[in-house]
Structure 1
Amino acid sequence: MTKKRLKRMRSLISEARHLQEMLDRPAKTTEYVGDTAKDYRTGKPHSITITGYGQQDYPELKERYYQKLRQIQQEIAFLEGFLDQVEDPQTRDILRLYYVNGLTQEQIADELGYARETISRKIRDFWQNSHK
């Protein structure tokens, strides 16, 4: 397990939430449409193009979103399992607040009632001693 992989967790959670929102939206039914219209300021015609996903393309797009969402959910589950295996509950709590919730070390210190240096030391010791 690397720090880099765990640091991605917040982004993965955000991406999963965004993908789920996209999947929950109703299907797009518009096709590519083009037309011309006169500009009321100049009186000259100009082109207007409206684009969107056609009905035949939407199921493929939706399936790609589902696949990506499943992949992200598997990675999140793996990382949560990794955090669950941290033996020291204090360190586990600090790591969750830092990597999953995205709190700063100062915010974690305020929430848990420790000095910021203690939070920093716990995170550093975790990576140095057991999980390089």
Structure 2
Amino acid sequence: MTLLRRNEGFTLIELMIVIAILAIIVSIGYPAYLNHVDNSWRAKATGCLAELAQAMERERTSSMSYPGSLPNRGCRSEIEDEGRYTFERVDAQSDDTSFLIRANAQGRQANDGCGNLSLDHTGDRTTQNGSVSQCW
């Protein structure tokens, strides 16, 4: 009578190979995931800049001048609460015939290759780093 021994479970070598493969997949996937998250927050910031610029233009149509401060919009609070961007009105001139709105990159966004994003009253978009076509 021969006893057949059944193999149950995995050997240590098989387990280590699986862990090594998972480590390689995670080391490639996690930075790509973080890049995707940064890009989505940047897209939210550019959308918020456009929303703020539209609100500024609406104010100009009714009072014939741009408001002295940024309108209070929900997009600002969501993005600022996450610590990704802060929004401010930056004007080289003190008149009410133009405006420049800037989204200041904070935290991880400051190192995403685009930096601060700006939009003015003519619709001109600028970035601190990178190209406008890539960052907007």
Asked if Structure 1 and Structure 2 have the same fold, meaning a TM-score greater than 0.5 normalized by the shorter chain, the answer is: no
Under a length normalisation based on structure 2, what TM-score does the superposition of the two structures give? 0.30
Rg comparison, structure with higher value? 2
Structure with higher strand content: 2
Structure with higher helix content: 1
Under a length normalisation based on structure 1, what TM-score does the superposition of the two structures give? 0.31
